[in-house]
Amino acid sequence: MVNSHKIISCLLALGFVSPGSAGYNRTSQTVTYTPLHEEWIDEESNSNVTLSAKFDLINSAYASLYDKEETTDLSKRTSITVIAEAATVIGGTATVIIAANSGVSIYKYIAGIMKSKSDDNSCTLTWGTDTGDGYVEGYAYEATTTGSNCETTAEKKTMVKAVEKCANYLHDSGATRGCCKMNHGGGTWRGHLRLSAEPTKYPAHSVTC
Ligand SMILES: *[C@@H]1O[C@H](CO)[C@@H](O)[C@H](O)[C@H]1NC(C)=O
Ligand SMILES: *[C@@H]1O[C@H](CO)[C@@H](O)[C@H](O)[C@H]1NC(C)=O
């Protein structure tokens, strides 16, 4: 059972529900929301890490959280540029991306894949599923570059932190499937990670972030 009061207070506390950019259209069963953009200084390397995240499927138990009040209609807020994304609302039985603290082993495993792809300077797409204490999660990972190689100087620890932030955002948003893009040190490397909590029904076989 999803405790919606708990979810609401959690989302409000973390600033995920931003009136004006969020909305729930019951006719089309879609929500609109502002994607995550976060930036922090990585202590290991003293460099800039950026993370952006969005999702395309959301559990219906969370959809009403995105309802906006009439008075915060986007057209009345012309001074603010909001880049909204849309996600499809799916049945309440669909599971949500597992939070970082509940899925430590899978997120460390995924960060390990990212690190080894970087060590191999590999730009190839990898996907699979991993299971842990009663959950299963699908993932797809690919590094891209605007330069000539797919290496990054980011340490595995740094990647674990980024993957965990990604998972927590998707979890708190009620997402069943989502995608995160990372950068380290302002370089040409971009890590793209797609996660799915329902890999059989809603696979993660490509990255879309
Ligand atoms: C909700 O979705 C329906 C169907 O796609 C669309 O016709 C309608 O304009 C949408 N409503 C809003 C307020 O965007
Ligand atoms: C981090 O990166 C952003 C965007 O590339 C840049 O605007 C900012 O100045 C950088 N900050 C540091 C501390 O390097």
Q: Per-residue confidence at 21, pLDDT binned at 50, 70, 90?
A: low
| Inter-residue contact 92 to 108 (CB < 8 Å) | no
| Inter-residue contact 166 to 109 (CB < 8 Å) | no
- Arithmetic mean of pLDDT, 92-113: 92
Strands 23-25 and 30-33: antiparallel
User: How remote is the CA of residue 110 from the centroid of ligand 2, in Å?
Assistant: 26
Question: In the predicted model, is pLDDT for residue 181 greater than 90?
Answer: yes
> Ligand 2 atom 10: the closest Cα is on which residue?
48
Residue 139, pLDDT score: 97
Q: Which ligand is nearest to the CA of 40?
A: 2
Strands 36-42 and 126-132: unpaired
Q: Per-residue confidence at 171, pLDDT binned at 50, 70, 90?
A: very high
Q: How many Å apart are CA 40 and CA 137, to the nearest integer?
A: 27
> Ligand 2 atom 5: the closest Cα is on which residue?
186
Question: In the predicted model, is pLDDT for residue 116 greater than 50?
Answer: yes
Residue 110, pLDDT score: 96
With H, G, I as helix, E, B as strand and everything else as coil, classify residue 192.
Answer: strand
Q: Per-residue confidence at 14, pLDDT binned at 50, 70, 90?
A: very low
Select the more confidently predicted residue: 75 or 187. Answer: 187
Whether ligand 1 lies within 6 angstroms of the CB of 27 is answered as yes
Residue 82, pLDDT score: 52
Whether ligand 2 lies within 6 angstroms of the CB of 48 is answered as yes
